Amino acid sequence: MMRCAVRGGGAHVVIGERRSPSSSSPGSGRSVVRMSEGRGGLCCGGVRSRAADLAGLEMGRPSAGAAGLFRSTRYGRVRATASADPEDIPSDKLQAKSSGSVLPYVGVACLGAILFGYHLGVVNGALEYLSKDLGIAENAVLQGWVVSTTLAGATVGSFTGGALADKLGRTRTFILDAIPLAVGAFLSATAQDVRTMIIGRLLAGIGIGISSALVPLYISEISPTEIRGALGTINQLFICIGILAALVAGLPLAQNPAWWRTMFGISIVPSILLALGMAVSPESPRWLFQQGKISQAEAAIKKLYGKEKVTEVMYDLKASGQGSNEPDANWFDLFSKRYWKVVSVGAALFLLQQLAGINAVVYYSTSVFRSAGIASDVAASALVGAANVFGHHDCIFTDGQAREEEPSHNKLFWNGGVDV
């Protein structure tokens, strides 16, 4: 027999109740599905509920009538439900408190952002001194090549970083990225001619181009909801910190003109630390899940958040994977009618940022201050870098609050998105 009763907005469903003639005990040979305190349920025609209803699912002894309804109880999956709903997560799992911490791994990833800023800003104070040593003090064109080659390399790296991350994984791409970063820094520090210097700057540029795509991607994919707003914008802050570190590193130049080689060589250390740190950091659970490596994804989640969060995060990844029906986009889609307004606004913001002259400040502020008659030109540039850091800190704090106030819909991750 089957009974279906509604009690206070919930449903009490008994499926396939079966008693033997010799036993009248209520629990004998019976399978029960209970949905307590829900917002309504659908009975006699398929079982479908929200998180509060799903939390009340109870299975008694298996019987022929109920066994066909349930395929797996590992993530609370119900066969009658066509696809996983992001909100169909057991309430006891939603309330589980994370026992892990992602901050150490975010810190390792931010070494890539620091190196990005450092390689951009290191040439600011060092340009005059390296030009004298390399014999290009009177050649403004070659000086421009030394400065701009890094940006050319970064352009190449930024186009390849995402593809490498999708193919090799996030952590292995970080380790691979450390190679051009370290080799480029070494060649720049030991250069005896302008050709070697340009090659070194080009390699360093490729490295920071890859990290510019990889750092925010990795951070967004491992960030829990409650601190996603702050961590999602921390990449830009650490880029500014890297620029400031490069400007501060130039302070001894006035007393030691050969110090510029040490300035370039210093960046080898964080490059090595980045590779070593990523060797022990967990892979992105989202990437592992997309590759079908379920057990490895569960191990990464346990390492990042603790074993209490495994079911919740796996449910979220499954729901996001089943809920995506749109085909993969390509570069030409950016110019379609659907996206051209958004792309135009984003491109205009970056164009105006460049036309504002910030690059001239980052690369040539020391020369500008020197031309203006300021004796402590490197120190003045360091103050500009400090103002840049504090300005981005205020913007990140405000933006982080706004992000954390946005409804998350029980989503633990962004879909690998990077903010403009």
Weakest-pLDDT range from 41-55, 121-135, 244-258, 377-391: 41-55
Q: At what angle do helices 234-249 and 377-405 cross, to 10 degrees?
A: 170
Return the percent helix, strand and coil in the chain, to nearest 5. Answer: 65, 5, 30
Backbone angles phi, psi at 198, to 5 degrees: -65, -40
pLDDT at 212 over 90: yes
Kind and range of the H or E run holding 143: helix 140-168
For residues 362 and 244, give the distance between their C-alpha atoms in angstroms, rounded to a whole number: 10
pLDDT recorded at residue 83: 38
In this prediction, residue 174 carries a pLDDT of 97
Mean pLDDT value across residues 212-237: 87
Most confident of 9-23, 232-246, 264-278, 319-333: 264-278
- Residues with Cβ < 8 Å from 259, sequence gap 6 or more? 129, 250, 252, 253
pLDDT of residue 322: 63
Same domain membership, residue 388 and residue 296: no
pLDDT tops 90 at residue 288: yes
Q: Report in angstroms the alpha-carbon separations of 287 from 94, 281, 317.
A: 22, 14, 10
Q: How confident is the model at residue 154 (pLDDT cuts 50, 70, 90)?
A: very high
Whether 291 has a pLDDT exceeding 90, the answer reads: yes
Average of per-residue pLDDT across 44-65: 38
At 231, which helix (H) or strand (E)? helix 228-232
Query: Could you report the per-residue pLDDT of 83-127, keeping only the tens digit for each?
Result: 344 445 554 444 456 656 899 999 999 999 999 999 999 999 899
Q: Which domain holds residue 105?
A: 99-281+334-405
Instruction: With cut-offs at 50, 70 and 90, classify the pLDDT of residue 379.
Output: confident
What is the CATH number for 305?
A: 1.10.286
Query: What would the two tokens of residue 221 be?
Result: 């994919």
Residues 351 and 289 in one domain: no
Task: Indicate if 354 and 273 belong to the same structural domain.
Answer: yes
Residue 292 has pLDDT above 80, yes or no: yes
Same domain? For 302 and 196 the reply is no
